[in-house]
């Protein structure tokens, strides 16, 4: 090990870990040039680097620090609606249907009839300039874009490039989703979109995993342990293509917003506004603030972890968020909801990072096997879950909403609430450690899954 591993866990979260996770933590701390490793409270076994793992390096780029879904992340929209406006399940079902008429979900290149028209977009501009190519303000993004050198040929991986136009503005499969949520405290209505770089990012990552393994002399089946150096030719190529995938993911999320806006207008005669957009699967070159207050530059790998710059961080200078720290957008589960956090000074002890969700306790295959006998019970749980939003401190008043409306005939067992840790326990660790505060606790009332 080149450095210590700092894990932020409650006693029960620690007891739920196993030796395989800690072996991955040792591996993460043993790469050349590693100067810090941090495990977030949602951490669990991944590949190469644990999910919920943060690795800080000098000039080493660890490809599993982004993984296959480069720049998977979240965008939040805040609407002028309140809980009372969305209490009617028929209205929520209409909204789900209207979103599905505009936004493709699941694997493949399908585009719904009313999908946002992307034919006029210059894909080279998207890959190089992300949200800036769409005219989105920098204050609404973790990063508008990550620079890609002009001389880099972004058509050199045909299997990746051919996915760009077909999949821009689509959610994909797995754990990706679009969700209407309500703030439990003030009853405000939000929309969260969770997705990544789609086939472009996957094919990019896969190409460089194989190339990196060959360069480092690793077997193909061990390719996810590959690492590169920023100053070697393959490292420079990977960094440029990785950044183009991040830019694509950013633009993808902002393109999806256009379809969500149309659905809001159609059903609720209103629009939302983008609150913030952030990634949680990304390698970024950042200013590192050292314990003595001095700064340096380094690569921060967040594999299933979210950047968390507190107020006064040098990289926030001149932005809207310089005085407060930027928002951290945390999806939880389709049953137990999500949160918006703001970093505190303690975030410097966690690599300026927080969790990216609540963390899995069951793998996908395991969930389908072990929960199959409870499928009816889980479906009923989603239909009948009842919460009150906007009640006063004594629990009086507020609006009660029953059920989470979905776009699937049955609740996906590999994404139901039972496959995830308790989000509130995960968030409590951050608050206890002074890493972040919970500004909004939100619960789903409608969910559109990217089923496979």
174-191 tens-digit pLDDT = 889 999 999 999 999 999
Taking domain 5-449, whether its CATH number is 3.90.1860.10 is answered by yes
Domain boundaries, the chain: 5-449
Residue 399 above 80 pLDDT? yes
30-88 tens-digit pLDDT = 999 999 999 999 999 998 899 999 999 999 999 999 999 999 999 999 999 999 999 99
- Predicted local confidence at residue 452, as pLDDT: 61
User: What is the pTM (predicted TM-score) of this model?
Assistant: 0.96
What phi and psi values does residue 190 have, to the nearest 5 degrees? -125, 160
CA nearest neighbour of 445 among 45, 19, 58, 95: 95
Query: Interhelix angle for 233-268 vs 198-216, to 10°?
Result: 160
**CA atoms within 13 Å, Cβ hemisphere of 355:** 32
Mean pLDDT of the chain: 95
136-156 tens-digit pLDDT = 999 999 999 999 999 999 999
Residue ranges of the alpha helices (H) in 285-374?
364-370
Total number of residues shown for the chain: 452
Q: Are the C-beta atoms of residues 72 and 41 closer than 8 Å to each other?
A: no
Among 210-224, 236-250, 281-295, name the one with the lowest average pLDDT.
Answer: 281-295
Residue 451 above 70 pLDDT? no
Residue 354 above 90 pLDDT? yes
106-133 tens-digit pLDDT = 888 888 988 888 877 899 999 999 999 9
Q: Are the C-beta atoms of residues 212 and 70 closer than 8 Å to each other?
A: no
């Amino acid at each position: 090990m080149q450095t210590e591993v700092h894990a932020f866990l409650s006693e029960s979260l620690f007891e739920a870990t196993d030796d395989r996770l800690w072996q991955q933590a040792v591996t993460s701390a043993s790469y050349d040039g590693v100067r810090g490793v941090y495990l977030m409270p949602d951490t669990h076994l991944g590949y190469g680097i644990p999910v919920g793992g943060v690795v800080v390096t000098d000039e080493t780029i660890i490809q599993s620090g982004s993984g296959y879904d480069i720049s998977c992340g979240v965008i939040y929209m805040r609407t002028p609606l309140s809980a009372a406006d969305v209490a009617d399940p028929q209205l929520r079902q209409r909204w789900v249907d209207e979103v599905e008429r505009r936004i493709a979900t699941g694997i493949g290149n399908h585009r719904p009839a009313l999908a946002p028209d992307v034919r006029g977009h210059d894909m080279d501009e998207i890959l190089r300039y992300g949200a800036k190519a769409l005219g989105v303000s920098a204050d609404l993004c973790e990063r508008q874009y990550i620079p890609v050198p002009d001389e880099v040929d972004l058509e050199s991986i045909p299997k990746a490039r051919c996915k760009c136009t077909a999949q821009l503005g689509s959610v994909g499969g797995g754990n990706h989703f679009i969700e209407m949520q309500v703030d439990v405290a003030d009853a405000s209505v939000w929309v969260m979109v969770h997705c990544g770089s789609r086939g472009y990012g996957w094919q990019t990552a896969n190409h460089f995993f194989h190339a990196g393994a060959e360069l480092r002399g690793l077997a193909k089946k061990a390719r996810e342990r590959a690492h590169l150096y920023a100053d070697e030719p393959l490292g420079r190529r990977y960094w440029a293509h990785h950044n183009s995938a991040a830019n694509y993911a950013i633009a993808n999320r902002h393109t999806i917003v256009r379809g969500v806006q149309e659905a809001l207008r159609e059903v609720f005669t209103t629009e939302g506004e983008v609150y913030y957009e952030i990634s949680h699967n990304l390698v970024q070159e950042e200013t590192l603030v050292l314990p003595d207050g001095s700064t340096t530059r380094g690569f921060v790998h967040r594999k299933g972890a979210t950047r968390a710059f507190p107020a006064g961080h040098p990289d926030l200078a001149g932005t809207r968020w310089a005085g407060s720290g930027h928002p951290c957008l945390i999806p939880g589960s389709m049953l137990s909801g999500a949160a918006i956090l703001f970093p505190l000074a303690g975030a410097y002890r966690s690599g300026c990072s927080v969790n990216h969700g609540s963390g899995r306790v069951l793998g996908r295959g395991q969930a389908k096997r072990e929960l199959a006998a409870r499928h009816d019970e889980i479906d009923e749980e989603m239909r009948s879950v009842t919460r009150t939003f906007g009640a006063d401190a004594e629990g009086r008043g507020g609006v009660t909403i029953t059920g989470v409306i979905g776009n699937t005939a049955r609740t996906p067992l590999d994404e139901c609430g039972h496959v995830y840790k308790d989000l509130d326990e995960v968030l409590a660790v951050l608050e206890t450690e002074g890493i972040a505060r919970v500004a909004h606790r939100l619960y789903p009332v409608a969910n559109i899954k990217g089923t496979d």
